[in-house]
């Protein structure tokens, strides 16, 4: 039993540029959203304290400062991560392919028991969540990940996504 300092969880957010990684983190931690390109608010590291099954934990969220655009995120970024949230844009098939390439990299380079979760973001823009959704869910299941549909704009699915990650990490401890 530890007192004082809460247990820490390191979560990295990965995905293509512009899919909404920073927006999800900012919505979750500060409950804000901006339509504009976020040049000034660079959320590279955010912390949120939450209670998981009665246990206080500190969720440390690592967001990129845009390096993903140059494919310049090395293993050092996620090597000691407890969890990764892989984000794609529901309207952008390429961004889903990018999630799959991230997963391959993580399976090779990250901790063996890293908790994986996939978020299909911008649900407010996706008119109907058609067949692709089933593919995404099946893919997530095949790699032991959970899959959520989110909107940073409308604050939909976000609490659930982060809570699920924290809970699954805690279950391993
Ligand atoms: P990042 O590059 O992955 O960090 O993406 P950003 O968080 O910077 O978001 C890129 C753009 O998408 C910004 O203009 C955001 O306002 C917008 N955006 C992010 N999340 C959502 C969402 O859920 N719905 C909509 N409609 N736009 C979003
Ligand atoms: Mg960003």
pTM, rounded to two decimals: 0.93
How far is the C-alpha of 112 from the C-alpha of 97, rounded, in Å? 22
Distance 26 CA to ligand 2 centre (A): 10
* Ligand 1 pocket residues where CB is under 6 Å: 15, 17-23, 34-35, 37-38, 121-122, 124-125, 151-153
Identify each DSSP E strand in the chain by its residue range: 7-15, 45-52, 55-62, 83-89, 115-121, 146-149
Instruction: Compute, in degrees rounded to 10, the torsion defined by CA atoms 28, 169, 164, 1.
Output: -80
Distance 43 CA to ligand 1 centre (A): 13
Q: Nearest residue CA, atom 26 of ligand 1?
A: 122
What's the confidence (pLDDT) of residue 154? 98
Mean pLDDT of all residues belonging to the chain = 89
Non-local (6+) Cβ contacts of 154 within 8 A are 123, 124
Q: Looking at the CA of 20, name the nearest ligand.
A: 1
What is the predicted ipTM? Answer: 0.99
User: pLDDT per residue over 33-67, tens digit each?
Assistant: 998 866 445 558 899 999 999 999 999 999 987 76
User: pLDDT per residue over 132-146, tens digit each?
Assistant: 788 999 999 999 999
User: pLDDT per residue over 83-95, tens digit each?
Assistant: 999 999 999 999 9
How far is the C-alpha of 78 from the C-alpha of 96, rounded, in Å? 19
Distance 39 CA to ligand 1 centre (A): 12
What's the confidence (pLDDT) of residue 40? 46
Share of the chain above pLDDT 90, in %: 75
How far is the C-alpha of 87 from the C-alpha of 156, rounded, in Å? 14
For 124, other C-beta atoms within 10 Å of its C-beta total 12
Do residues 119 and 85 touch, judged by C-beta distance below 8 A?
yes
């Amino acid at each position: 039993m530890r007192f004082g300092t809460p247990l820490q969880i390191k979560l990295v957010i990965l995905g293509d540029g512009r899919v909404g990684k920073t927006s999800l983190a900012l919505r979750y931690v500060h409950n804000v959203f901006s339509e504009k390109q976020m040049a000034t608010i660079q959320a590279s590291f955010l912390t949120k304290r939450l209670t998981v099954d009665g246990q206080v934990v500190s969720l440390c969220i690592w967001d990129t400062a845009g390096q993903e655009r140059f494919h310049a995120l090395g293993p050092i970024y996620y090597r000691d991560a407890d969890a990764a949230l892989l984000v794609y844009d529901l309207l952008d098939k390429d961004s889903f392919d990018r999630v799959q390439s991230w997963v391959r990299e993580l399976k090779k380079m990250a901790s063996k028991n890293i908790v994986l979760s996939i978020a299909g973001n911008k649900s407010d823009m996706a008119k109907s969540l058609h067949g692709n959704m089933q593919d995404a869910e099946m893919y997530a299941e095949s790699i032991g990940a959970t899959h959520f549909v989110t909107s940073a704009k409308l604050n939909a699915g976000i609490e659930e996504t982060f809570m699920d990650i924290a809970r699954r990490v805690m279950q391993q401890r």
